[in-house]
Structure 1
């Protein structure tokens, strides 16, 4: 008995696309983490996804749009929940540590995200909305909320990059005798940090100082 031949192949597209916003975003983030921002091109992204560039453009209009997706995705990793339940200073502290930890893991994004507009970035705007609401509840004048957030972010982004700095970045080497005060200060900082990393110790000191300074500004403006 002759086996029946298979029926004709059905025409049309597969029921589900192999690409999606989530897949493109994840691949783009991996590409930036491994190759740096310069390594993110649409052709490189297509290769990582194992599709033709034309297939990629069926889902996104441009590299800029992909970066917007990456920005929103990364911001969902930042924990800002403390602004709902903690005093302002503690909420800022928890938010800042989480923010810095996220971008320390994705350091190549720092120079990109730091200057990227938040237009239509829903998740990023959601974070800023909650942080701004926390500032407002703490008594901050509305016109001073954004400058305070930007000041904190500037410190956070720089500190995220500092996490990857080599441990001997301030080693004076053979010139130690010519610069004894700084060399001794570096040694003392290392000794006092104990088990805490130099980057963590610096971030803690700087963040505490910023929070105290901002709190003082708030107190002064309300008197």
Structure 2
């Protein structure tokens, strides 16, 4: 009997198969890699070539590009995590949630705008995430008509902060001077330097120091707005 045949069946060779078995997790991993290499404007055709399959094979897992983007967002949302909204006050849990949101989504700058603006309908991970936050706020007595505006305000800030983290540390520094050598914008120059000095003293980048300050100020303001009877 041939050594490569056992019980009438071909014997599987040792090691990994030549072509990886196509799966949702593999497609998402390669989609993230492709997007970071080629920017947000990536296509099913390019992803299929990367995976060594026909585009039709991808449709067995994702109906289209929007479904793929939704799947990518769902995976990132799972990475952000829960942060104890069921047990902690919303205004404490959301600080940790927003920090992880910034770090997780900010690690994919080529896609952050598209990922963050994708409607949540049909994307269960994000729906569950927002439900946890909304339920926590309502349990804490936050006015129901202000819950979604508050969540959107925080998320908008986080998205902007993730993009700001990509900018130079002295992005707001005026680099021009008047003919006499004085600063063209002396107050801005002084306060920008003070901000960078404060961040250096805390061992942080200016972007991170600004994010932490802004987030806490925003959450404090939203708490106060929720306690205003006229809101």
Q: TM-score, normalised by structure 2?
A: 0.84
* 1:32-66 residue CA offsets vs partner (Å, 9 max, x unmatched): 2232111x201111122122223223433211111
Output the CA distance in 1 between the equivalents of 2:108 and 2:212: 20
Q: Is there any run of 5+ residues in structure 1 with no aligned partner, and where?
A: none
RMSD: 2.5
Which residue is equivalent to 1:33?
Answer: 36
- Number of aligned pairs? 216
Contact 2:146 2:226 in 1 (8 A): no
Q: Which residue of 1 aligns with 2:95?
A: 93
The equivalent of 2:190 in structure 1 is 184
Give the one of 211, 214, 220 matched to 1:212: 220
Listed as ranges, the gaps of 5+ residues in structure 2 are 11-16
Check the 8 A contact 1:148/1:214 in 2, yes or no.
Answer: yes
Q: Which residue in 2 is equivalent to 1:61?
A: 63
Q: Structure 1 length as normaliser, TM-score?
A: 0.87
Match for residue 176 of structure 2?
174
Structure showing the higher helix proportion among its residues: 1
Aligned pairs for 1:4-153 (under 5 A) are 18-38=21-41, 40-153=42-155
Q: 1:208 to 1:62 in 2, by over 3 A?
A: same
Q: CA deviation at 1:179?
A: 1.3
Residue 203 of structure 1 and its aligned partner are, at CA, apart by 0.7
Q: Which secondary structure state, in structure 2, belongs to the residue aligned with residue 81 of structure 1?
A: coil
